[in-house]
Amino acid sequence: MKSSAKNHGHHISQQFNEELEDAKNHMLEMGGIIEKRLTDAIASILDTDSGVASRVIEEDDAIDSMEVMIDEECNLIIARRQPAASDLRMVLGIIKAVRDLERIGDETSKIAWMSIKLSEEGDFPGGFVEFRRLSERVSKMVNMALDCFARYDAEAAVEVAQYDATIDMEYDSAMRAMITYMMEDPRSITRILNVLWALRALERIGDHAKNICEHVIYVVKGMDVRHGKLDSMAEKIKTDE
Instruction: Give the domains, in start order, of the chain with CATH numbers.
Output: 10-240 (1.20.58.220)
Q: How many CB atoms lie within 10 A of CB 223?
A: 17
Dist. CA 23–CA 94, nearest whole Å? 7
pLDDT of 227 higher than 80: no
51 pLDDT above the threshold of 80 = yes
Distance CA 152, CA 228 (A): 22
At residue 7, the pLDDT reads: 47
Report the chain's mean pLDDT, rounded to a whole number: 89
- In tens, the pLDDT along 4-33 reads 434 434 545 888 889 999 999 999 999 999
**Band of pLDDT at residue 3, cut at 50, 70 and 90:** very low
Q: What is the average pLDDT across 138-147?
A: 98
Q: What CA–CA distance (Å, rounded) separates 63 from 29?
A: 11
- Count Cβ neighbours within 10 Å for each residue of 46-74 and write b for 16 or more, e otherwise: eebbbebbeebbebbeebeebbeebbebb
CA distance 160 to 166: 10
> Sorting pLDDT into bands at 50, 70 and 90, what band is 237?
low
Per-residue confidence at 151, pLDDT binned at 50, 70, 90?
A: very high
Question: What is each CA distance from 143 to 43, 84, 219, 224, in whole angstroms?
Answer: 17, 29, 18, 22
Q: Is 202 or 4 the better-scoring residue by pLDDT? A: 202
Q: Are 62 and 102 in contact (CB under 8 A)?
A: no
Lowest-pLDDT range of 8-22, 82-96, 171-185, 196-210: 8-22
Nearest to 209 by CA among 123, 117, 153, 139: 139
235 pLDDT above the threshold of 90: no
